Structure 1
Amino acid sequence: MSSGSVAEFASGSALLSRLQAGGQWFVIADFEGRLRGWRFEDVTSAPRDLPATPAWRGPDADAWVSSHTAEQYQQAVARTREHVADGTVYQANICRVLSASLDKPHSPAALTDIFAHGNPAPFLGYIRVTSTVPEEQVWLASASPELFIRISPDAGGALIESSPIKGTAVNRDGLTDKDTAENVMITDLVRNDVSPVCEPGTVAVRNFLNVEEHPGLVHLVSTVEGRVSPETFASDDFWQRVFDATFPPGSVSGAPKSSALRIISELESHPRGPYCGGFGWVDGDTGRAELAVGIRSFWWERHCASCGGPALHFGTGAGITWGSDPVREWEETQLKASRLIALASGGSV
């Protein structure tokens, strides 16, 4: 979709109510819970003509600073394993944020064009909204491979789908029993997440432990789906119920989710923001919607306290279980970040 002027802005619970009222909305939900949406005046669906040489100038490759050093991240992994041993949590996703000062970035469309050439992804997309009101501004470019929520109206009700990613390696041979165990746990968590908005007995898993190949790595992916009754789908609080049940995404939080979120708050030093949240579109007229998990995403802030000015951010993380090795988990975060950081810095890998 490509859009023109913004007709309306809404946030929080007011936005969730507005999604039922109609219109074409782009939605971003920060991991910490901030929810914003922009209704566009004009929306068209069309393939984009990609330029041969996208016009993008990003930070220098050596300008990126991590919110955790290798030693600090490995200590966080060790602490998470202690929580697992104590029975507090089975798995927690521990992340770090890479930041680089950047005064005036080009349009996120330019960076997204680079991703389309060098790191194509199922949920490639971007949004930029300029406004005199800081809350209404946004700059996001994403090469997310992960589906958070898809709503497909059907026979008065709807089908709801989610495809959690858990398990990452350079190639198929690199996937381990630990990767499989992670995916099994999170798939079960997502089944429980979507159940409150689905008809009893309709929640099922398909393509269980499917291996998906992406540029430079592979993922284990399972898909959870269920049927939403016509009454639930038509209710005024449908989107409130969906977000209350499913957010934040289970694959980037952990299991049990409430315990994982407490551990994340304890161990992470930088807010995730749009990273590990959700972004996508909602068609309030038809009820169709598609939101991706905000991984493999860059976002720009005009005022970043830790950088002392405007900065570009990118998040990376790993799922930690009792079977985690701190060094391997650090290396996994490096693997997930290396290709996209190289593209954002120099336009090539």
Structure 2
Amino acid sequence: MRAIAWTDPVAVASAFAEETHACVLLSGDGGWSYVLRRPDAMADVGRDLRALLGGGEMSPEGPPFQGGVVGLAGYELSAQLEPTAPQVRGAWPDLTLLRYPALLAFHADRRRAVAVGRGRDRAAAGAAADGALSWLDEAGAKPRAGILAEDVALSVPDERHAAAVAETVARIAAGEIFQANLARPWRGRLAPDVRPFDVFARLARQSAAGYAAFLNLPGRALVSNSPERFLSVRPGPDGLWAETHPIKGTRPRGVDAVSDAALAAELEASEKDRAENLMIVDLMRNDLARVSVPGSVQVPELFGLESYANVHHLVSRVRSRLQPGRDAWDAFLAAFPPGSVTGAPKLQAMRVIADYEAPRGPYCGSLFWAGVDGALDASVLIRTLALVENAAGWAFEARAGGGIVADSDPAAEVAETTAKIGAILRALMDAP
């Protein structure tokens, strides 16, 4: 590991963002961010994750992620994990695993940065770290000015989404489910000469969220501004501990401080939103219990308020100690797809979602890193653009949704999706 002067990780990555497999994992809350390129191994099946990781030493002064695998799990991976889940396939791969032998890590609050390398011995690891240092010598691109997208259109109009919500409420009343998360898409294409990284860089400047990320794949790209942790796993003195942060319950931000505070207080007092959140907390408790030591599942925080650029959210925390012999990948697969973007009971909610939505692809899947020490950190891919390159340039889709429960109001649910997509639409359509 080599110490380096702190600099903006987005600026560093801009120099090679068009490379296949260039990746940025950006902490919008002042923690560690990572810039990665040139993986040395790839796989597309889950059992290869452990083989890809191998092992190695960890520096106690280093970042949580000191090399290993970055993975993209599409929502439809669920069809491989559970035969009774909707058996649908989209255009995106269900799972992509990339092993990176080197990375640059940046801590914004501490103004600290390091280059990390891994290899078969100390000399090889040092050489990999030195190679990552050389990335800093490449000239980054200037931030793109002007409007980034054209032909942006809402693909499911308000009345159609409202009708889907009303039908789902009726299905809840009939006893089919308790909750389902329904989303609708916005589609368009980037303006000529605009690249996906330009969208990521603008979101990072305007409203970076805690799990902002960029990943360039062959003919595809992912830009995420997600605020939601799906799952983290960290080693402790008594084993591996897993934690999830389900988000459920939303209000838009106010136009001034007074209205903003009133909307936040309204959310915190809302019985409907608290019930919606509690259903997902219970679902995640059950998911983690499948791989955890009996009695270790805890809820350290319930209905916490978190505020973002466009919305307030209720966020809870669920924590558990994994059973001996179980690892982070076991926990990930036991809880995937995230309960906050499916509903309860999970499998039946997924069947309801499949009745109204086309295959989701990356949306509501997860982008994650898995380290050589057994740690893992995974996001829920909401506030995310899935981009595909074609003859006309870069086409994209971004979805926004919400949890539908027994007393959901269709008009309010329509408004909630519009509030949630706001930061992405502003980044695409408003010239700074």
Is the deviation greater in 6-15 or in 147-156? 6-15
Q: Could you tell me whether the CA contact under 8 Å between 2:148 and 2:191 is conserved in 1?
A: no
Instruction: Check if 1:13 corresponds to 2:46.
Output: yes
Tell me the residue number matched to 1:134. none
Instruction: Tell me which residue corresponds to 2:227.
Output: 145
- C-alpha separation between the residues in 2 aligned to 1:105 and 1:153? 45
- The 3 A distance-change label for structure 1 pair 309 and 104 is closer
In structure 1, stretches of 5+ residues that fail to align are: 131-136
**What is the CA distance between 1:302 and its match in structure 2?**
2.4
Matched, 1:244 2:333: yes
Q: Does residue 1:28 correspond to 2:72, yes or no?
A: yes
Which of residues 205, 209, 213 is equivalent to 1:121? Answer: 209
* CA drift at 1:215: 0.9
- Summarize the Cα distance change of 1:84–1:111 in structure 2 as closer, same or farther, 3 Å threshold: same
Query: 1:156/1:184 Cα in 2 relative to 1: closer, same or farther (>3 Å)?
Result: closer
Q: Which residue of 1 aligns with 2:167?
A: 79
Q: Residue in 1 aligned with 2:103?
A: 43
Superposed counterparts of 1:80-95, under 5 Å: 80-95=168-183
For residues 55 and 101 of structure 1, what CA distance do their matches in structure 2 show?
Answer: 16
Match of 1:173 among 258, 262, 265: 265
Q: Once the 2 structures are TM-superposed, how far is the Cα of residue 106 of structure 1 from its aligned partner?
A: 4.2
Question: What percentage of aligned pairs have identical amino acids?
Answer: 33
In the alignment, does 2:191 pair up with 1:100?
no
C-alpha contact 1:166 1:220 (8 A) present in aligned 2: yes
The answer to whether the Cα contact below 8 Å between 1:84 and 1:322 also exists between their aligned partners in 2 is: yes
Flag the 1:7–1:88 CA change in 2: closer, same or farther, 3 A. same
Distance 2:46 2:385 in 1: 26
Correspondence for 2:402: 318
What is the identity, as a one-letter code, of the residue corresponding to 2:355? E
Are the aligned partners of 2:188 and 2:396 in contact in 1 as well (CA < 8 Å)?
Answer: yes
Match of residue 224 from structure 1: 318
Matched-pair contact (CA < 8 Å) for 1:152–1:159: yes
Q: CA deviation at 1:129?
A: 3.2
Counterpart-to-counterpart distance in 2, 1:181 and 1:266: 24
Residue 155 (str. 1) matches residue 237 (str. 2): yes
Q: SS of the counterpart of 2:75?
A: coil
- CA gap of 1:10–1:297, structure 2 versus 1, over 3 A, is same
Provide the aligned C-alpha RMSD in A. 2.4
Q: Give the CA deviation at 1:36.
A: 1.2
Kindly state the Cα deviation for residue 107 of structure 1 after the two structures are TM-superposed: 4.6
Answer whether contact 1:75 1:326 (CA < 8 A) is retained.
Answer: yes
Q: Deviations over 1:19-60 (max 9, x none)?
A: 5535611111111111111112322212589x9972265213
Q: Could you state the TM-score of these two structures normalised by the residue count of structure 1?
A: 0.87
Q: Deviations over 1:229-268 (max 9, x none)?
A: 34223xxxx62x3243111100000000011000000111
TM-score by length of 2: 0.71
**Rounded Cα–Cα distance in structure 2 between residues aligned with 1:160 and 1:9:** 26
- Bigger shift: residues 21-30 or 288-297: 21-30
Q: Using a 3 Å threshold, how does the CA distance of structure 1 residues 289 and 279 change in structure 2: closer, same or farther?
A: same
Deviations 1:134-154 (A, max 9, x none): xxx541111111000101011
Whose RCO is larger (CA < 8 A, sep 6+)? 1
DSSP 3-state at the match of 2:361: coil
Deviation per residue, 1:148-176 (Å, 9 max, x gap): 01010112621100000000002313422
Q: Aligned pairs, how many?
A: 329
For each residue in 1:83-138, what CA deviation from the matched residue of structure 2 results, as whole angstroms up to 9, or x when unmatched?
101111000000111110237664544322222221121112211134xxxxxx54
Structure of greater Rg:
2
For residues 340 and 347 of structure 1, the distance between their equivalents in structure 2, rounded to whole angstroms, comes to: 13
**Corresponding residue SS for 1:172:** helix
Q: 1:195 corresponds to which letter in structure 2?
A: A
